[in-house]
Amino acid sequence: MELSPLSPIQFLLEALSEEFGEVLQVKGKINRFGMDSFKPTDPAKKTNRTKLVEEINDIKALLELLEEWAAEKPDLLPGLGDREFIEKRIQKFLHFAGVTRELGLLKGEELEGDGVTESTAPVHQEEPELSAQDQANTPPPTTPDPTAAGPTQ
C-alpha cells in the first residue's frame, strides 16, 4: 500500500492523535492496575505513572511544535494559543471539577481554583456564561429525528 505524503499540519495532527491514544491506553492501565504498577516482564519496571508523564510530555512537545509552525501561518489555525480563550476554558473545567466534587465524585486535594472543598453547599450544575467566541465554537444541540428508524433488535 502506498501512502500519500502528508502536509506538515497533517503530520502534526496525526502524531497528536497517536499520542492522545497512548495517553488513553495508559489511563486504562492505571484504572485497572494502579498508578504505580508496572508490567511484570518489564526489566526497567517503568510504572504507569512514568508512562503517563512521558505521554503527556510527548503531547506538550507536539503542541509546542504545532504552535510554532502555525505562528508562521496565522490564517491556518487562527486563535491557536489565545490566552484569553484558554483561561476561560480553564475556568470552565474548574467549575465542573467543583460540581463533580459537590456531587461527591471528586475527592482529595482541591484543584487550584475549583473553589470547592469537601464540605460544600448545595449542588448546582449551571455552566459559566459563554462568550460569543465560545458560543460560535459550540455545536447546536441535536435532537433525534422522530422519522428515523431506531435500532433493530
pLDDT tens track for 26-64: 999 999 999 999 999 999 999 999 999 999 999 999 999
Give residues with Cβ within 8 angstroms of 120, minimum separation 6. 98, 101, 102
pLDDT of 73 above 60: yes
At 85 the pLDDT is 96
- The proportion of the chain whose per-residue pLDDT surpasses 70, expressed as a percent, equals 75
d(C-alpha 69, C-alpha 90), whole Å:
24
For the stretch 15-34, pLDDT in tens is: 999 999 999 999 999 999 99
Predicted confidence band of residue 74 (pLDDT cuts 50, 70, 90): confident
The 10 Å CB-count burial string (b at 16+, else e) for 49-81 is eebbeebeebbeebeeebeebbeeeeeeeeeee
Residue 64 to residues 12, 71, 85, 99: CA-CA distances in angstroms? Answer: 10, 10, 17, 31
Q: DSSP for 61-78, please give it.
A: HHHHHHHHHHHT-TTTST
The predicted structure's pLDDT at residue 132: 63
Using N-to-C axis directions, what is the helix angle for 48-71 and 8-33, rounded to 10°? 160
**86 φ, ψ to 5°?**
-65, -45
pLDDT at residue 43 in the model: 96
Q: Report phi then psi at 134, rounded to 5.
A: -60, -45
Question: Is the separation of the CB atoms in 49 and 34 below 8 Å?
Answer: no
C-alpha cell at 22: 497512548
pLDDT confidence bin for 116, thresholds 50/70/90: low
The answer to whether 23 touches 59, Cβ cutoff 8 Å, is yes
